[in-house]
Amino acid sequence: MKKLTLFTLISTALLALTPSQKSQALKIANTASKAYLDYLEAEILKTLKNYSMEDALMFCKTKAYPLSMKFALQMSQKFHIKIKIKRISFKNRNNSNYPNITDQPILKKLSKSQKPIVKEYGKMVVVYEPIKISNLCLLCHGTNINPQLHKIINKLYPNDKAIGYKLGDFRGAVVITIEKKGLK
């Protein structure tokens, strides 16, 4: 009995993140999320400037997901730790970006606090970074979408829920999963 208690104590201590691990996870997540989102925004702007709204839409459709993998790899190398990146939203465009059962209650909390949330799931540390709507986003997620563009969006995404957003609205989260064993 005594042994069991000691074992429980030790394993709990091993599982809990130290303050230093937590702040390192936050720093990695913040850097990764910002790098990914800034890059997306810059590429959308560039496409709008040099090509068209439809091309910018196709950029988001075809590149947002592969870029999340590219940035995860880049950040894994930068921080010498294995990380994954995804985007989730309750009012989503792509069906696969709807939050899973584990993510749902945290995304709800995040929509209120709008401050990064750190969670531990076994060997993984997961950080949820909020995404906000800026002016650029309104073009494809706002209340007054160009009718031509809206038609294409509806054709590509018949279940689209990612419209009707206003400036400053909570859009969803970048979820950064970090392998705990690499955190110091």
Residues interacting with ligand HEC, by CB under 6 A? 41, 44, 53, 56-57, 60-61, 64-65, 87, 89, 92-94, 97, 131, 133-134, 136-137, 139-141, 162, 171-172
The CB-of-74 to ligand HEC minimum distance in angstroms stands at 19
Residue with tokens 């590149």: 63
Name the nearest CA neighbour of 114 among 65, 172, 179, 64. 172
| Cα 148 to Cα 139: distance, rounded to the nearest angstrom | 12
How far is the C-alpha of 110 from the C-alpha of 94, rounded, in Å?
A: 20
Q: How far is the CB of 80 from ligand HEC (least distance, A)?
A: 28
Alpha-carbon span 49 to 8, nearest angstrom: 59
Quote the least distance from Cβ 62 to ligand HEC, whole Å.
Answer: 8
Tell me whether residue 99 or residue 118 sits nearer to ligand HEC (CB atom): 99
Name the minimum Å distance from CB 123 to ligand HEC.
Answer: 27
Complex with ligand HEC: residue 110 or 162, whichever CB lies closer: 162
84 or 87, CB closer to ligand HEC?
A: 87
**DSSP code at position 89:** -
- Toward ligand HEC, which CB reaches closer, 117 or 139? 139
Quick one: how far is CA 111 from the chain centroid?
13
| Residue number, 81 or 165, with CB nearest to ligand HEC | 165
Give whole-number Cα distances, 113 to 21, 86, 177, in Å: 22, 20, 20
